Amino acid sequence: MSSLTEVDGVLGEALRDYLAHLRVERGLSANTVDAYGRDLVRYVAHLGEVGRMSLAQVTEADVLAYVDAIRQGGDGGAPLSASSTARALAAVRGWHRFVHAEGLAAEDPTTQVHAPTRMRRLPHALSVDDVSRLLDAAGAGEGPVPLRDRALLELLYATGGRISEIVGLDVDDVGDAPVVRLRGKGDKERVVPVGSFARDAVQAYLVRARPVLASAARQQGTPALFLNARGGRMSRQTAWAALQAAAGRAGLAGVSPHTLRHSFATHLLAGGADVRVVQELLGHASVTTTQIYTMVTPDALREVYAAAHPRAR
């Protein structure tokens, strides 16, 4: 069974009703509904293998067997990663909740079924020296673009802002005060301090580079802080390209805008900042998201071991 059109009978009707509910009542996008459909078609195939003709017959053991099958590829499909398995199980849970709420099944067999644990990876952060090399590389060269790129990357690192937040800044957002107003997810605004290095870089850009870039605009000037070569607001793609070019000149690989955000948080915590303060600066809704930065890195473990263990050398 590979598509929704091949699902018939009671299960097929229940599946089509659920997908219509997601599309019409929940307002999910077509892509999201299609993804749910693909996961649930695989689930229906599993139910057919174990002889279940309706969701009212499904037990917790059936759901657990399905999770194991898709994790290992035991149902003939491709084995799924922990994150993909969690996504597929979310689709199954949603369908069972819907059927139970509609009174088509007396029990929801998924309530005690948990997704496989996903490994938490430490965010990649640059060392302080590598950040300095990156920023110096951004400002290398003549003309307005190096001044702009240096100011851009200085602000990214100084504030821990997302790339969309930084390119979304207007000139009025920076002002003369040692703070900047960032508009984050959900248009939530936060005020973040800005150090002297970033302030000086932004001031140099405003005085010596932005007027040159603004002169290329064919229409009335934009309030945007960072401008592209045509005098319009700099896009995330252009900002990404500027970062990649600087990283290449600095000899650094695997650097993204989020790398500077991770470096900002990691360096603050290493310097003794409270995790709740870092949470506010990053604009995280929950401190749990921020606490990943408090995980001990392998380098830190080796340093402590080498310094403390009597036979470390």
pLDDT in tens, 189-246: 888 889 999 999 999 999 999 999 999 887 777 899 999 999 999 999 999 999 999 9
Q: Which top CATH class is 129-254?
A: mainly alpha
Active site residue 284: yes
Average pLDDT over residues 247-252: 95
Instruction: Please say if 181 is a catalytic residue.
Output: no
Read off the tokens for 40. 């649930």
Domain coordinates in residue numbering, the chain: 4-101, 129-254
Catalytic residue among 71, 96, 261, 267: 261
- For tokens 């299960």, the residue is 11
Per-residue pLDDT at 96: 92
The pLDDT, as a whole number, for residue 5 is: 62
pLDDT digits (tens, 9 = 90+) for 15-69: 889 999 999 988 888 888 888 998 998 998 898 888 888 888 999 999 999 999 9
Q: Is 205 a catalytic residue?
A: no
Q: Is 262 a catalytic residue?
A: no
Angle made by CA atoms 166, 168, 174, in degrees to the nearest 5 = 65
Per-residue confidence (pLDDT) for residue 29, from 0 to 100: 85
pTM above 0.95, yes or no: no
The domain over range 4-101 is classified in CATH as 3.40.50: no
Catalytic residue among 150, 162, 210, 262: 162
How does pLDDT run across 122-165, given as a tens digit for each residue?
A: 567 899 999 999 999 999 999 999 999 999 999 999 999 999 99
Q: Which two structure tokens, joined as six digits, stand for 208?
A: 């010596």
261 is catalytic: yes
Q: Which of 18, 43, 205, 293 is catalytic?
A: 293
Please compute the mean of the pLDDT values over residues 287-312 and round it to a whole number.
66
CB 85 within 8 A of CB 67: yes
Q: For the chain, first and last CA: distance in Å? A: 60
Among candidate residues 185, 188, 208, 302, the one labeled active-site is 185
